[in-house]
């Protein structure tokens, strides 16, 4: 039993803007006896589709070029009919290049029938299916997502009421094109004009069309290439626009994140400040780590560093909220347990999940700079390097729990002596959790202390000390650290008396 010849999708008569019983017209192109874009049979199938079923052309099985063959394609044999592939459905205007069939919407009013756009097949087996509208009203109805390209006759009357005007006040000859571009911003558009209006084609491209064609030079192969080019150029333009928008959003996000990083308020304090911050998530400027340093009116310098569990944007936002709350509470006079208890309430109300917690270390340095109060909420103890002594960790026996773990927790404040000249380094666990070598060994706090001691012995201080420490930690890890890292350094250097 012979296999039916596959045909293209049936386009209802309403798609072509005609009644179902419209009479077919003669076709001057491709040797077809019927108009492929105008006539339909009473069954609702276009005459071109009936002609395809009767003659077997155009087919998607290759062969010689048929675009200008006036004799028409030969009828298929039974074997060819059995092996003929099914038609491929057209994709949306933004679909990828894998589509093998494109749908062309022709918008033109040609009462003489001199313009007949056939279904085309180029040497790359690209089928172009045609849908026709006589005016912009019909075009708007037929402009569905399966249309890939629009062929617009620039000779069409402009839409009424006409609102477009040329800069000099004269009639805008491209008003119909501007209207279609507004109507179909995601579709590729080809402008069709006459050779007598040769300047209008380049002007159409300048307005927004992907390309232009001359009516008198139009043939199947040229139209097929132009449609494919226009569709691919539109896709490329759309991809470039998305890339540009993505870059602008990234730049805006970067500016916002930079603005959320703290500016230390240490005016009048005899201390030198340095900090390094490196988020763990890719292409981010802000992570879950946070820090801040301020000097209150009584001369006390307050420093803080913290770490919200997790690495995403929600954790980064929560870290910013805790930092801002800490600064406000510090200026309001809160310190020690009272301050941390209030910060825990802020965290409990702002966190997105009850499992989220934050570690915190706060230090308040006396106005004379010789002592400090220390509170630890599940956070690593700071490192201090006093003049004439090796760098060491401050006591951490009274370390309280992280914020958000125990509702009624308390955080004792320990008084520590700093001495006359010193360097105090606060850090997050990202600095000490990096690996050492290819195994599973971690740097740890002891390794970090040894590392800093060596750098101090080399005479490094301030920014140079932090930069060298970060560089060496990354080198020991064998690459970038995966966790957020924040390091804050306060130096008090008093000249030695002679």
Cβ neighbours of residue 407 closer than 8 Å, sequence gap 6 or more: none
More confident residue, 91 or 227: 227
Select, from the ranges 157-171, 203-217, 264-278, 360-374, the one with the highest average predicted confidence (pLDDT): 360-374
What pLDDT score was predicted for residue 473? 94
- Measure Cα distances from 188 to 3, 135, 231 in Å: 37, 18, 5
User: How confident is the model over 179-197, as a mean pLDDT?
Assistant: 89
What pLDDT score was predicted for residue 443? 94
Give dist(CA 239, CA 39) in Å, integer.
Answer: 38
User: How confident is the model over 21-41, as a mean pLDDT?
Assistant: 35
Are 276 and 465 a contacting pair, CB within 8 Å? Answer: no
Three-state DSSP state, 145: coil
Region of residue 366 (phi > 0: left; psi between -120 and 50: alpha; otherwise: beta):
beta
For the whole model, what pTM was predicted? 0.55
pLDDT, tens only, 301-320 = 999 999 999 877 888 889 99
More confident residue, 110 or 22: 110
Give dist(CA 204, CA 132) in Å, integer.
Answer: 21
Residue 442 has pLDDT above 50, yes or no: yes
User: How confident is the model over 22-42, as a mean pLDDT?
Assistant: 35
Select, from the ranges 108-117, 272-281, 425-434, the one with the highest average predicted confidence (pLDDT): 425-434
In order, the DSSP letters of 328-368 are: HHHHTT--HHHHHHHHHHHHHHH-SSTT--EEEEEEEE-TT
Give dist(CA 339, CA 355) in Å, integer.
Answer: 22
Give dist(CA 227, CA 126) in Å, integer.
Answer: 10
What pLDDT score was predicted for residue 254? 66
The whole-chain average pLDDT of the chain stands at 77
User: How confident is the model over 363-373, as a mean pLDDT?
Assistant: 96
Select, from the ranges 26-40, 132-146, 264-278, the one with the highest average predicted confidence (pLDDT): 264-278
pLDDT, tens only, 96-119 = 444 467 888 999 887 666 666 654
Q: For residue 130, give the nearest of 104, 108, 164, 162 by alpha carbon.
A: 104
What pLDDT score was predicted for residue 336? 94
Radius of gyration of the chain (CA): 37
pLDDT, tens only, 69-81 = 434 444 444 333 3
More confident residue, 238 or 427: 427
Region of residue 333 (phi > 0: left; psi between -120 and 50: alpha; otherwise: beta):
left
């Amino acid at each position: 039993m012979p296999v039916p010849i596959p045909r293209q999708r049936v386009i209802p008569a309403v798609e072509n803007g005609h009644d179902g019983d419209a009479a077919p017209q003669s076709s001057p192109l491709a040797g077809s006896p019927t108009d492929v874009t105008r006539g339909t049979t009473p069954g609702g199938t276009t005459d071109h589709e009936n002609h395809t079923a009767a003659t077997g052309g155009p087919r998607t099985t290759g062969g010689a070029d048929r675009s200008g063959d006036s004799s028409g394609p030969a009828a298929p044999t039974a074997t060819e009919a059995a092996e003929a592939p099914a038609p491929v459905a057209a994709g949306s205007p933004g679909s990828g290049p894998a589509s093998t069939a494109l749908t062309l919407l022709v918008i033109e009013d040609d009462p003489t029938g001199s313009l007949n756009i056939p279904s085309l097949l180029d040497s790359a087996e690209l089928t172009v299916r045609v849908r026709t509208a006589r005016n912009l009203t019909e075009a708007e109805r037929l402009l569905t997502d399966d249309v890939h390209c629009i062929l617009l006759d620039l000779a069409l009357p402009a839409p009424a009421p006409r609102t477009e005007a040329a800069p000099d006040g004269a009639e805008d000859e491209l008003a119909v094109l501007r209207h279609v571009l507004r109507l179909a911003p995601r579709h590729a558009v080809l402008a069709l004009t006459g050779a007598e209006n040769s300047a209008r084609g380049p002007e159409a491209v300048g307005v927004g069309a992907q390309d232009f064609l001359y009516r008198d030079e139009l043939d199947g192969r040229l139209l097929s290439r132009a449609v494919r080019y226009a569709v691919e150029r539109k896709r490329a333009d759309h991809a470039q626009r998305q890339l540009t928008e993505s870059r602008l959003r990234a730049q805006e996000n970067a500016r916002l994140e930079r603005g959320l990083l703290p500016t230390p308020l240490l005016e009048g304090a005899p201390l030198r400040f340095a900090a390094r911050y490196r988020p763990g998530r890719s292409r981010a400027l802000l992570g879950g780590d946070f820090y801040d340093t301020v000097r209150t009116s009584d001369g006390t310098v307050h420093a803080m560093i913290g770490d919200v569990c997790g690495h995403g944007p929600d954790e980064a936002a929560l870290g910013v909220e805790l930092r801002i709350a800490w600064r406000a509470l510090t200026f309001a006079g809160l310190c020690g347990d009272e301050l941390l208890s209030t910060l825990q309430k802020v965290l409990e109300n702002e966190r997105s999940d009850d499992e989220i917690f934050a570690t915190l270390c706060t230090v308040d340095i006396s106005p004379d700079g010789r002592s400090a109060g220390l509170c630890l909420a599940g956070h690593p103890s700071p490192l201090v390097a006093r003049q004439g002594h090796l760098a060491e960790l401050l006591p951490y026996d009274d370390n309280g729990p992280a914020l958000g773990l125990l509702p009624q927790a308390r955080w004792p404040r320990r008084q520590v002596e700093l001495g006359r000249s010193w360097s105090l380094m606060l850090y997050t666990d990202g600095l000490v959790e990096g690996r050492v070598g290819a195994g599973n060994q971690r740097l740890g706090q002891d390794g970090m202390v040894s590392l800093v001691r060596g750098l101090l012995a080399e005479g490094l201080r301030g920014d140079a000390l932090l930069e060298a420490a970060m560089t060496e930690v990354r080198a020991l890890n064998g690459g970038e650290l995966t966790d957020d890292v924040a390091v804050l350094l306060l130096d008090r250097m008093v000249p030695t008396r002679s």
